[in-house]
A and B are shown apart, each in its own frame.
Chain A
Amino acid sequence: MGKNAIEIEELEYSYGRNQVLKGVNLRVPAGSIFGFLGRNGAGKTTTIKLLLGLFRPDAGTCRVKELDSQINPIIVRRTVGYMAEDQQMYGWMRIEQIIKWVASFYPNWDEDFTSRLLEMLELPSKSKVKTLSKGQNSRLALLLALGHRPEVVILDDPTLGLDPIARKDFLRHVIDLLQSNGVTVFFSSHLLYEIEPVADHVAILDKGVIIKSAKTEQLRESIRKFIFTPKQQADFSSVPGILDLLTSGDNVSVTLEDCDEQKRAAIRRLSANGIQETALNLDEIFEVYVIGNRAKGKRE
C-alpha cells in the first residue's frame, strides 16, 4: 500500500466553455488531516466529485488508495466516506430509517459502530430528518459517511452554516473518531481559522490550480514578512520567492516564500539599517498567495 491515500495528477475539468480545473496536482498522505482551501468557486467541490468518480475528467487521473476513480468508481466509493456540501437527506424518513436505508448500499456496514455513533453524536433515532436542527443534520450526515468504517473520509465544507460552538463540536468529533483511528481526512473549507488548529497539511486551490501544498507547521515557519527601509536602488529581483511587496513611505514590507538563512541574508543586504521580521497567520498566508496569484495573472 502506498504512502498516499489520495493522488491527483494533472486533473482538468470544464463546465461547458468554463474551465474550472486546469491541471490540479495533489498528494494526500495516509493518516493525515488534510485541509483543502480555496475561495468560493475555486473548484473544491468539482475536485471532490471527480475524486469520487461522479464526473468524468477532461484530462488527468485521480486515485484513492491506489484505485483509479474512473476505472473503479464503485470500489472507490465503498472505500470512502463522503459528506457532501449541504447534504440533502429525505425529510420524511426517521433517523433510524435513513440509517437502515444507507446501510443497504454497503456490504461492510458496521451496525454496532453506528449505534455507538448515534449515542455519541446525541441523535434522536425516532425523530424525522426534517425536524432536525442544522447541527443535528450535519452530525447525521457525518454518521452516514462513517457507518461503513471508511479508511478515507472526504468532507466537503462540513461545517457550512453551523454556529461557532457547533463547528468546534463537530471538529472535536472528527479528531476523536477519525484521527485517533488513523483514518485519512480530506476536508474542504474556506474558513481558515477553522482549518488551522485541525489540519496537519493544507493545500490552496486557486483559479483551477494548486498554488501551494505543505505541512501547516512548515507553511507557517517558512513564510516571513520583513519590514525595513531599503537602500537607494535596492534590487528586489535579486531575491527569489517574493510573494508580496508593499511600499509605504520610506519603508517596504516584503513577504517571502520558503524563507531560509540565505534569503534572510539577501534581504538584509537590501536594507539601509534595521530589519523587522514577523510570521504570518494562515489567513494572511492565504491572502498573500491568492492575491499574489491574481496580480501575477494580470501581468502575464
Chain B
Amino acid sequence: MPIYRQIIDQISYQVAAGVLKEGDKVPSVRELAAKLAVNQNTILKVYNELCRANVLRIERGDGTYVSSGKQTIAAAQRKKTVSNVLREAAVRAVHLDVSLEQAKELLETEYQAIKSARNKSE
C-alpha cells in the first residue's frame, strides 16, 4: 500500500474512533512530515485528500482542523469506497475459509468497537 494511503487510513481511523475530535488542530504539514520522516508533499497530498472527504478542513494561514464530518461526497461514492475495502476482506475470508456469518460478525464487532470508543470520548 502506498505510504500516503497508510497515513490517510490512520488519520481516518483516529477521527472515526474519536481520538481526534471535531475542531482539534492536527500537526502542520511540516511537523507531521518530520515526525513520520516522509516527504512533505506526501503529507500535503494526505491532507488534501482528507479535505475532499471532509474529514479535515484547511484554514488558510491558520492550520488544519478536524472537520464537522458533514458529508459532501455523494452517498454512492461513499458506498463505493467502503465496498472496495470490503471486497479485499471478502477475498481473504474466502481464501481462509471464514464463513459469511463469521465475517459479518467480525465486521459488526469492529464497527461497534469504533462506535463505542467514539461515544466514550464524547
Residues of A within 8 A of B (CB): 33, 168-169, 171-172, 175-176, 179-180, 196-200, 217, 220, 279
A196-B3, A220-B2 known; A172-B37 Cβ under 8 A: yes
CA distance A197 to B37 in the complex (A): 7
A220 to B2, CA, bound (A): 9
B residues contacting A by CB (< 8 A) are: 2-3, 30, 33-42
Pair B38/A197 contact, Cβ less than 8 Å: yes
Which residue from B30, B35, B37 sits with its C-beta under 8 Å from A198? B37
Q: How far is the CA of A171 from the CA of B34 in the complex (A)?
A: 8
Q: Complex: how many Å from CA A220 to CA B121?
A: 39
**Are B39 and A168 neighbours in the complex by a CB distance under 8 Å?**
no
Instruction: From A168, A171, A175, give the contact of B40 (CB < 8 A).
Output: A175
Task: Write the nearest CB–CB distance from B45 to chain A, whole angstroms.
Answer: 8
Residue from A169, A179, A279 in contact with B39 in the complex, judged by beta carbons closer than 8 Å: A179
**Can you list 19 pairs linking A and B with CB atoms under 8 Å apart?**
A168-B37, A171-B37, A172-B34, A172-B35, A172-B37, A175-B34, A175-B40, A176-B30, A176-B33, A179-B39, A180-B40, A196-B3, A197-B3, A197-B37, A197-B39, A198-B38, A199-B39, A217-B2, A279-B2
Do the beta carbons of B3 and A175 come within 8 Å of each other? no
* Contacts A180-B30, A220-B2; A200 near B41 (Cβ below 8 A): yes
**A180 surroundings in chain B (CB, below 8 A):** 30, 34, 40
CB neighbours (8 Å) of B3 from chain A are 196-197
Closest to A168 in B: B37
CA distance A26 to B39 in the complex (A): 21
For the complex formed, measure the closest distance between the CB of A152 and the CB atoms of chain B, giving whole angstroms: 17
- Identity of the chain A residue whose Cβ is nearest the Cβ of B42 in the assembled complex: A197
Minimum C-beta distance from A70 to chain B (A): 32
Point out the residues of chain B lying under 8 angstroms from A217, CB to CB. Answer: 2
Chain B residues lying within 8 Å of A199, measured Cβ to Cβ, are 39
* Alpha-carbon gap, A199 to B41, bound state (A): 10
CA distance A296 to B109 in the complex (A): 53
**Which residues of B sit under 8 angstroms from A179, Cβ to Cβ?**
33, 39-40
Which 4 A-B pairs rank lowest in CB-CB distance, beginning with the nearest?
Answer: A176-B34, A197-B38, A171-B37, A172-B37
CA distance A229 to B33 in the complex (A): 43
Contacts of A168 on B, CB cut-off 8 Å?
37
12 more A-B contacts (CB under 8 A) besides A197-B42, A217-B2? A168-B37, A175-B40, A176-B30, A176-B33, A179-B39, A179-B40, A180-B34, A197-B37, A197-B38, A198-B38, A199-B39, A200-B41
Assembled-state Cα–Cα distance A198/B41 (Å): 9
Tell me whether B2 and A175 are in contact (CB under 8 A): no
Report yes or no: B41 in contact with A175, Cβ–Cβ below 8 A: no
Shortest beta-carbon distance, B23 to chain A, in Å? 26
Contacts of B40 in A (CB 8 A): 175, 179-180
B37 to chain A minimum Cβ distance, whole angstroms, is 4
User: Which of B30, B35, B39, B41 is the most central at the interface, judged by chain A CB atoms within 10 Å of its CB?
Assistant: B39
Least CB distance, A61 to chain B, in whole angstroms: 29
How distant is A207 from chain B, measured CB to nearest CB, in Å?
28
Cβ contacts under 8 Å, A279 to chain B: 2
Nearest CB to that of B31 among chain A residues?
A176
- C-alpha gap A168/B33 in the complex (Å): 12
User: Chain A residues near B33 (CB, 8 Å)?
Assistant: 175-176, 179
Chain B hits for A200, CB < 8 A: 39, 41
